[in-house]
Structure 1
Amino acid sequence: MSVLAYILPLLRLYLIGVKVLLHQLLNSAFTLPVLPRQNGRVAIVTGGSRGLGYETARQLASLGMHVIIASSHEEEGLAAVKRIQEESKDRKVEFLKLDLASLESIRQFAQNFKKRGIQLHVLINNAAVMLVPEKRTEDGFESHFCVNYLGHFLLTNLLLHCLWDSGKDDLFARIINISSSAHYVGDLTLEDLQSTQGYSAHAAYAQSKLAQILFTYRLQQMLTASAAPVTVNAVDPGMVDTDLYRHLWSPARLAKRPVAWLLFRTPAQGAATGVYAAVSPDMEGVGGCYLHNGQRTQSSLASYDEVLQERLWKKSCRLLGLGDSWLA
């Protein structure tokens, strides 16, 4: 891989990061309005044991929702459950193990959930890795592509019947894909989704986030065409002070602490838009949106390419052995 091919994605990603930080400097963080109680409703939050996912799970539980924290970190997940329950004993929250880097784990998680016979009203695809060294999953997929996108693609398809059955004409089930402004500099190469032609962690991360949004828009088109009582939206939480940034380029990592203190959102602030998208009456029946700081906004031009959306969908189904049906 040439030096330029390595440096260019790095520079593009850090430049978009600077743009986001300037926006956060000049704009107040979104504040959640008063939201209705969610008693009796069920949510799954992937990556809910720490950071943004934990705050999302905590806020949903505070509204009376039965929250399932799905994470590969069992000890952290159980500790997160305990902390949330200690805030209020009537909060219903539990942990179920899910490793998005393993297709077997994803299928087992979905099967175990379905066996319980409970409804599913909200699925928040939050778990992510960022800028990790090159690595292949047990199924042979590049780690960013699998954890951030393909694993959530499979999980969503496996749980879609549950969401469909739980939604109503006046109270839709909702899918929220937690994305990133990194998608604006993402290039999706269908012929090399696993980055075999030269690895850049920055390019791989940006590609996975663009794939999430292409998936969001394509799924909403299909749900609308089927008159399904389910919506799907993508949420950009902004730059949030979590350990997701631990693999930053060394100079940026050194600068992060003072910059984060001044300009990053807190996990609670970062979670607000996702919670809003998941339960606000303002978003009832509204899908196919990209939300940032509580507002609908435009995603990248590439993300609206319907031909690319369809081709990525079909490619993902082939990679996962889902066949021609869009319902697993």
Structure 2
Amino acid sequence: MSLAIASAVILTSAAAIYWYVNRHKPLKYILSELRYALDMQGAGAGGLIDDWVNVWRNKVVLPDATRKIAVVTGGARGIGAEVVRGLLKSNMFVIAGVRKPEAMKKLADNMENGENVIAFPLDLQSMKSIKQFAENVLDRFPVIHLLVNNAGIMYGDYQLTEDGFESQLAVNHLGHFYLTHLLLPALKKGGAIGEAARVVNVTSCAHYPGKIYFEDINMKEHYDSTAAYAQAKLAQLMTARYVNKLLEEEGSAVKCYAVHPGIVDTDLFEKTMFKKAFPWAMKLFFKTPAKGAVSILHACFDKELEKRGGLYISNCIEGISNSFSKKLDHQERLFEISCELAGVDKANFGKA
């Protein structure tokens, strides 16, 4: 009982402090932010428990994928670097989309088969940069077999990109949505019956408390960094499901998946209070980037997944996703808004 009382006192004190610091805001926004903060902590705790319970499932057998081409965003550090490492071990040729190509080259020099990776500049906060990156890829590789939409950002102050999009939405979702559209014609050429090309969106269990703010997707009325991150990660999951549905309906040999890599010790946590308060805990309880890459590589290669396009994966099995993400009308509405923002004719999404 004393523990319950102590917990209640701590939570009440924290809420009071939060209210005092943010008392200039309308009460409805303060309550919304508190709810998201608490729900996100719950999602993170659930993710940690899932990682501990299912650690034994985190296994992947890397095939020989010689002569196959993979595109990875954000491959110069963290989980992305370990995904690139795994793809190279599978004898794939890898194109990395990174802000600083020289950083990728330096990293590749210390990887097995590192000569099989090239890097082109990519800034997911710029639609112009994304289009240029896609053109650079397609000029040299008209056939692609794998796209891993891995790069991401988390939290931070409210910022609009040069195209007028909220930055977390732009980097985590909209930029990858546009890139997928541009590269799908090449992916369709790379896929075959029984051996489909794949699009893997790296999402997060952080999607669970989220919803899509359809009426204000850039969160201009009220910005909550936590809610914006949850929205962006939810959008990645919903896009994987809906685009996979479209591809199945048109008979294309391309499958889409969404993957939660686990709670991983990366620099995404640099701006979080958890990192500042408990830096030791991340090393102790979180996955390493190498272990976080396992579920992503599983989505890239596992043969059994050929029959399960649109799946949400966590620890190499189907993960628990929120009900919002499963509603087809929500998926379709997000797709339409994303097409509009990206300047894509929805009827011609993913078509040359």
Quote the residue 2:65 is aligned against.
38
Show structure 1 runs of 4+ deviating over 6 A: none
Name the TM-score, length of structure 1 as normaliser: 0.94
Q: Does 1:278 align with 2:307?
A: no
Within the candidate set 236, 252, 258, 2:260 is matched to 236
Q: Hey, what's the Cα distance between the residues in 1 that align with 2:319 and 2:47?
A: 14
- What is the CA deviation profile of residues 131-189 of structure 1, one whole-angstrom value per residue up to 9, with x for unaligned ones? 12111111110001000000000000000000001111121100000000011000211
Q: Does 1:253 align with 2:275?
A: yes
Q: Does 1:304 align with 2:331?
A: no
Q: Does 1:169 align with 2:177?
A: no
Report the 3-state secondary structure (helix = DSSP H, G, I; strand = E; otherwise coil) of the residue aligned with 2:208.
helix
Q: Taking structure 1 as reference, are residues 245 and 272 closer, same or farther at Cα in structure 2, changes over 3 Å only?
A: same
Give yes or no for contact 2:256–2:310 (8 Å, CA) kept in 1. yes
Moved more, 147-156 or 111-120: 111-120
Q: Taking structure 1 as reference, are residues 157 and 273 closer, same or farther at Cα in structure 2, changes over 3 Å only?
A: same
Q: Hey, what's the Cα distance between the residues in 1 that align with 2:47 and 2:141?
A: 42
Q: Hey, what's the Cα distance between the residues in 2 that align with 1:114 and 1:88?
A: 22
Within the candidate set 209, 218, 233, 1:194 is matched to 218
For 1:137-156, list aligned pairs within 5 A. Answer: 137-156=161-180
Q: Taking structure 1 as reference, are residues 189 and 208 closer, same or farther at Cα in structure 2, changes over 3 Å only?
A: same
Q: CA deviation at 1:82?
A: 2.0
Structure 2 alignment gaps of length 5 or more:
1-24
How many aligned positions are there?
323
Quote the residue 1:113 is aligned against.
137
Report the 3-state secondary structure (helix = DSSP H, G, I; strand = E; otherwise coil) of the residue aligned with 1:299.
coil
Moved more, 67-76 or 141-150: 67-76
Report the 3-state secondary structure (helix = DSSP H, G, I; strand = E; otherwise coil) of the residue aligned with 2:110.
helix
Q: Hey, what's the Cα distance between the residues in 2 that align with 1:35 and 1:327?
A: 28
Report the 3-state secondary structure (helix = DSSP H, G, I; strand = E; otherwise coil) of the residue aligned with 1:83.
coil
Q: CA deviation at 1:75?
A: 3.4
Q: CA deviation at 1:47?
A: 0.6
Q: Hey, what's the Cα distance between the residues in 2 that align with 1:97 and 1:285?
A: 34
Report the 3-state secondary structure (helix = DSSP H, G, I; strand = E; otherwise coil) of the residue aligned with 2:279.
helix
Within the candidate set 273, 290, 307, 1:268 is matched to 290
Q: Does 1:74 align with 2:101?
A: yes
Q: Percent identity?
A: 36
Structure 1 alignment gaps of length 5 or more:
none
Q: Hey, what's the Cα distance between the residues in 2 that align with 1:302 and 1:10?
A: 19
Quote the residue 1:20 is aligned against.
47
Q: CA deviation at 1:296?
A: 1.4
Give yes or no for contact 1:38–1:63 (8 Å, CA) kept in 2. yes
Q: Taking structure 1 as reference, are residues 309 and 88 closer, same or farther at Cα in structure 2, changes over 3 Å only?
A: closer
Moved more, 66-75 or 151-160: 66-75
Q: CA deviation at 1:327?
A: 2.7
Give yes or no for contact 1:220–1:287 (8 Å, CA) kept in 2. yes
Name the TM-score, length of structure 2 as normaliser: 0.88
Give yes or no for contact 1:101–1:147 (8 Å, CA) kept in 2. yes
Moved more, 19-28 or 143-152: 19-28
Q: Taking structure 1 as reference, are residues 174 and 260 closer, same or farther at Cα in structure 2, changes over 3 Å only?
A: same
Q: Hey, what's the Cα distance between the residues in 2 that align with 1:213 and 1:6?
A: 23
Quote the residue 1:6 is aligned against.
33
Q: Does 1:320 align with 2:346?
A: no
Within the candidate set 141, 150, 158, 1:134 is matched to 158
Q: Hey, what's the Cα distance between the residues in 1 that align with 2:174 and 2:87?
A: 25
Q: Hey, what's the Cα distance between the residues in 1 that align with 2:163 and 2:302?
A: 38
Report the 3-state secondary structure (helix = DSSP H, G, I; strand = E; otherwise coil) of the residue aligned with 1:284.
helix
Q: CA deviation at 1:285?
A: 4.3
Highest CA radius of gyration, 1 or 2? Answer: 2
Q: Which amino acid is the alignment partner of residue 19 of structure 1?
A: G
Quote the residue 1:99 is aligned against.
123
Q: Hey, what's the Cα distance between the residues in 1 that align with 2:94 and 2:237?
A: 24
Q: CA deviation at 1:88?
A: 4.3
Moved more, 154-163 or 26-35: 26-35
Quote the residue 1:157 is aligned against.
181
Please tell me the root mean square deviation across aligned C-alpha atoms, in Å. 1.5
Within the candidate set 33, 47, 62, 2:74 is matched to 47
Give yes or no for contact 2:183–2:350 (8 Å, CA) kept in 1. no
